[in-house]
A and B are shown apart, each in its own frame.
Chain A
Amino acid sequence: MSTDESGNDPEVAGGSESPSDPEVAGGSESPSDPEVAEGSDAAGDVEAGRNHTTMGDAVLRIRGLNAGYGDLRILTDVDLDVTDGEYVTIVGPNGAGKSTVMKTVFGLTTHMDGTIEFDGEPIHGLAPERIIREGVGFVPQTDNVFPGLSVRENLEMGAYILDSVPEDRIEEIYDRFPILRERESQKAGTLSGGQRQMVAMGRALMLDPDLLLLDEPSAGLAPDLVTDMFDRIDRINDAGTAILMVEQNAKEALRRCDRGYVLVNGENRYTDRGEVLLGDEDVRQDFLGG
């Protein structure tokens, strides 16, 4: 797959001398080539500046975003795109503001400047409830289940904004994560870390979002569960949900994603297809431990 990619536009920092064979990544599960192509176009957009070139299927479009907490600015002029069905990951050193990007999309930080558009509509300043209605799901990094609620109740809360509990949707989630069906009436607080992560994802998928935000889904998981978790994310993406993921496990994340952003000190540093970033000497040296 994706060997026909010719447009590896050199990125923002212009550091990607090594063309690097995309196949190095091996087993890349990018859903479809056109989207990858779109992704590169989007990156080109970033390069070109902030002109609002219309992109047919941009789901999330962030331009010149400045945000932080109170007076503290974390993000400076961040640009980021996720196209329809795309799998995008944000990597970078600790404190780079990776999670802040996600929280800002969800209206949980102080928005200072710039635009966040979802399906062409500006969403910054909207209440989280509205953003969920627009079709964005969010799985926070920690404390992402209601421990005192049963597994089923956790899922039901994910569909709170609907008038009635969507039984068929719950069944779909159970089909995706069969262990949750077994644990249906068990309190989420008594589950293992991996199972909790499934509950959290299931909850966020209840409304069948167009875009799923995942904040370090592998954090705190035992190593053998990490691969399993990434496989599940691949399958969610294969089913058509666009994904924006922040990951500490940068190598694995870049291997799996369609496109990656490297964020440093709250600014865009590199943007390219995941395999290209993985093969890039500078990126490897600086952020992936050689």
Chain B
Amino acid sequence: MATTEPNLVDSIRARPGLTLVVAFGVLLLVDLVAKLAGISVGPLGGSLSTGRLGSNLWNGIVIGLVIGLAGIGLSMTYSILSFANFSHGDLVSTGAFTGWGIAFLIAAFGEQPIRALLSVRGAGNVSPGEIGAHVLSTPVAVLVGLVAAFVITAVVSLALDRTFYKPMRDRDGISLLIASIGVALVVRYVIQFVYGSSRRGVTATVDASNLVIPATGLSINAHQLTILVAAIGLMLAMHFMLQHTKLGTAMRAMADNKDLALVTGIPAERVVTATWILGGGLAGASGYLYVLLRGTIQFDFGWLLLLLMFAAVILGGIGSVYGAIAGGLVIGVVFTTSTIWIPSDFNEAAVFAVMIAVLLVRPEGIFGGVSTA
């Protein structure tokens, strides 16, 4: 941005869009304060309990972490392989189905037919409650399921690369993008074929699984807490890998400058393989966690989530891993807090409005221009 001290009128004149966005943001903030204080002035204000605001923010952070976690892989494929991977959302679904299949298998082994358990559906009349998958009642099953989601999706992701993307390695970004839409369709309908198209419940309900923080009235669900810990743990592991290992440094180097990486002797294929394994694994884990949050699963939820992931990644600065996380959090929080003002049917619209607003101010995204740093 400009280094000289701009005067206010000039800067308003120079960027009317920005001024409008800022003014609207201030208006919302004033309205929010008025609502919390219980003051009502004309169309402004109303009433809002701090508890509701708190739980909106908390839910937003949890959803944001899941979206951010999924977005890491999307951002990495963009910076290292130079294309927008539309099959990423279906990797999220892959992780959810395979992971929960394993979790069910462990949770109800011997009680239900293996085939029904692995395909994440009740055989006959069995409900998710009878399988009883919950982090409090079957913690081992839920955790092993998470690991399985990561590992299996990483393998699937690598297999997709070897089958579809590797033969196209030298092609341009648009060709790869279109190919990835095809891959997305293949994966999605294989999932539909194997697991069926019905939307179904997955997690069981367990009494007293909510932790209420007394002073605020904020209620924290055990599954939300699991997501918080798992997502932050995976993000920290990713951070450590990128900053403190040779492979991670090479990944950042390749994201920075592929041609230079080549003449430096960095083995591109090995870095690409690592990118698919890690990006795919994180996508799978986030899909698994998303189901833990929502409690339900359906074959195309990853595809539907992809739009939000792209929003997060673009908002954060496409190509940046940290941007994906930051963008995910912004998207998540906007997604839930927007219901203070608008019906929840429109919260995706709010997400994209905020994305556009942020890009008006910072066209390169929050972490833009620093690639994987």
- Residues of A that sit less than 8 Å from B by CB: 106, 108, 128-129, 132-133, 138, 140, 143-149, 153, 156-158, 160-161, 165, 187, 203, 207
Residues from chain B with a CB closer than 8 A to the CB of A140 are 259-260, 263
B270 to A: closest C-beta gap in Å: 10
Q: What mask results when residues 249 to 269 of chain B are scored 1 for a CB within 8 Å of chain A, else 0? A: 110110111011111111100
Residues from chain B with Cβ under 8 Å of A153 in the complex: 249, 252-253
* Chain B: CB-nearest residue to A164: B246
A161 to B268, CA, bound (A): 12
Residues of chain A contacted by B59 (CB below 8 angstroms)? none
Stretch binding the partner chain, chosen from B23-31, B207-215, B295-303, B365-373: B365-373
**In the complex, are the beta carbons of B371 and A148 less than 8 A apart?**
yes
Q: List 6 A-B contacts (CB under 8 A).
A: A140-B259, A140-B263, A143-B257, A153-B253, A156-B249, A160-B246
Specify which chain B residues have a CB less than 8 angstroms from the CB of A128 in the assembled complex. Answer: 262-263, 265
State A129–B267 Cα separation when bound (angstroms).
7
B105 to chain A, nearest CB (A): 41
Q: Are B253 and A149 in contact, with the CB atoms below 8 A? A: yes
Once A and B bind, how many residue pairs between them come within 8 Å at the CB atom?
Answer: 67
Chain B nearest CB: distance from A211 CB in Å?
14
B residues 257-312 near A (Cβ < 8 Å) are: 257, 259-267
* B373/A203 in contact, CB under 8 A: no
Interface of chain B, helix or strand or loop or mixed?
Answer: helix
Majority DSSP secondary structure for residues of A touching B: loop
A193–chain B nearest beta-carbon distance, Å: 16
Q: Mark B221-265, 1 if CB is under 8 A from A, else 0.
A: 000000000000000000000000010011011011101111111
CB-nearest residue of chain B relative to A150?
B249
- Whether the pair A106, B263 counts as a contact (CB closer than 8 A) is yes
Instruction: State the 6 A-B residue pairs at the shortest beta-carbon distance, nearest first.
Output: A148-B373, A132-B265, A146-B256, A146-B253, A148-B256, A138-B263
Give the chain A neighbours of B255 by CB distance below 8 A.
Answer: 148
Tell which of A149, A158, A160 touches B256, judged by Cβ atoms closer than 8 Å.
A149
User: Which residues from B are CB-within-8-Å of A138?
Assistant: 263
Closest CB in chain A relative to B365 CB, distance in Å? 15
Contact A149-B246, Cβ < 8 Å, known A128-B262, A128-B263, A132-B265: no
Residues of chain A lying within 8 A (CB to CB) of residue B373: 148-149, 187
Which A residue's beta carbon lies closest to that of B264? A157
Could you list 20 further interchain pairs (A-B, Cβ under 8 angstroms) beyond the known A108-B259, A132-B263, A132-B264?
A: A106-B263, A108-B262, A129-B265, A132-B265, A133-B265, A143-B259, A143-B260, A146-B253, A148-B252, A148-B370, A149-B253, A149-B373, A153-B253, A156-B249, A157-B249, A157-B253, A160-B265, A160-B266, A160-B267, A187-B373
Q: Chain A's nearest CB lies how many Å from the CB of B171?
A: 15
Contact of A144 among B250, B260, B267 (CB under 8 A): B260
Contact call A160/B252, Cβ cutoff below 8 A: no
Note all chain B residues with C-beta closer than 8 A to A143.
Answer: 257, 259-260
Asked if A157 and B371 make an inter-chain contact with CB atoms under 8 angstroms apart, the answer reads: no
Bound Cα distance A283, B264 (Å): 35
A residues less than 8 Å from B264 (CB atoms): 132, 157-158, 160, 203
B100 CB to nearest A CB, Å: 37
Least Cβ–Cβ distance between A250 and chain B, in angstroms: 25
B260 touches which of A132, A146, A156, A187 (Cβ 8 Å): A146
Q: Which residues of A contact B260 (CB under 8 A)?
A: 140, 143-146
Question: B370 — which chain A residues lie within 8 A by C-beta?
Answer: 148
Closest to B266 in A: A160
The residue in chain B whose Cβ has the minimal distance to the Cβ of A187 is B373
Q: Are B263 and A160 in contact (CB under 8 A)?
A: no
Q: With A and B bound together, what is the CA distance between A92 and B261 in angstroms? A: 28
Contacting pair B250 A157 (CB below 8 A): yes
A143 vs B252: C-alpha distance when bound (angstroms): 15
Which of chain A's residues have a CB closer than 8 A to the CB of B253? 146, 149, 153, 157
Contacts of B266 in A (CB 8 A): 129, 157, 160
Contact of A148 among B259, B263, B265, B372 (CB under 8 A): B372
A102 nearest in chain B by CB position: B263
A153 to B246, CA, bound (A): 9
In the complex, which residue of chain B has the Cβ closest to the Cβ of A165? B246
